[in-house]
Homo-oligomer: A and B are copies of this chain.
């Protein structure tokens, strides 16, 4: 088999539903023959399933030891957060998973400071990604978060609405935070070559329908739980492996990624921007949209700032002014 690279790829949280799917996806894509499955719960059963699938010229290791897992790691995808359990508040989840992200960042710094790219997908990913970046010491271009699902949800919803194949719906993007405060951008969208904005407000697609669709997109994750009886796991797994494939120099990633932003408008936050992701890492430009869309993006940023500030209050991260002492790249 031809592989994109021989570099070691580590899947963190590999024993779980998302992680085990990422392992299979990475193997099917032929990313690397050097795959390590790491989890605090033994991922040996997942490794066995992969071996029994007959992916036969790859070396699949499984470990619960982080030092062993991260040794020589060049790429990491982490779905290794704790799920929200009954009785947990949103703040409990934020605190718990950001503490996991802090440790992940520190482990990267300790065991694989030469890692090339890290993709973070455990919730809330905008914050866990930010915390991982801070403590890892990596450059902003080297740590991204999964933010694409909102954009693919928008594409899928529009394709269904207009009865066209998904690839006939172009320019879909949601920016800002990956949560209900995300900013859905419609101004670049085309349906079979026709600008969406020419359709909005017509009998074919009323303003009310468009407003409802935007709400539905931001609640797409809840819809999957309603339909499947469980959280989505295939789509986040698949898309995050597409991200790491792009970072390895493979096919370009077609969707916005969550990236560290520090510019004249937004200060030290992780959020979905107009990004490119390739072997040079992640780079962004500011999204362009209508005044209303830009206002939504500002609001999404403000919402993320509040959560980041909660992390300061919780002593998980210091004040922003201190960040460069921990990670000179920020």
Of the candidates B54, B153, B159, the one whose C-beta lies within 8 Å of that of A254 is B54
A32 to chain B, nearest CB (A): 14
- Does A49 have its Cβ within 8 Å of any Cβ on chain B? yes
Residues of B within 8 A of A56 (CB): 155, 165-167
A202 within 8 A of B: no
CA A80 to CA B123, docked complex, whole Å: 33
Copies in the complex: 2
Band of interface residues on A: 35 or more
Greatest chain B CB density within 10 A among A25, A45, A54, A224 is at: A54
Residues of B within 8 A of A180 (CB): none
Residue in A48, A59, A167, A242 whose Cβ sees the most chain B Cβ within 10 Å: A48
Some 10 contacts from A to B, beta carbons below 8 A apart, are: A21-B24, A24-B238, A25-B28, A28-B238, A45-B226, A51-B152, A54-B148, A54-B166, A57-B165, A58-B166
Q: A residues near B, CB below 8 A?
A: 15, 20-21, 24-25, 28-29, 42, 44-46, 48-59, 148-149, 152-153, 155-156, 159, 165-167, 220, 223-224, 226-229, 232-235, 238-239, 242, 254-255
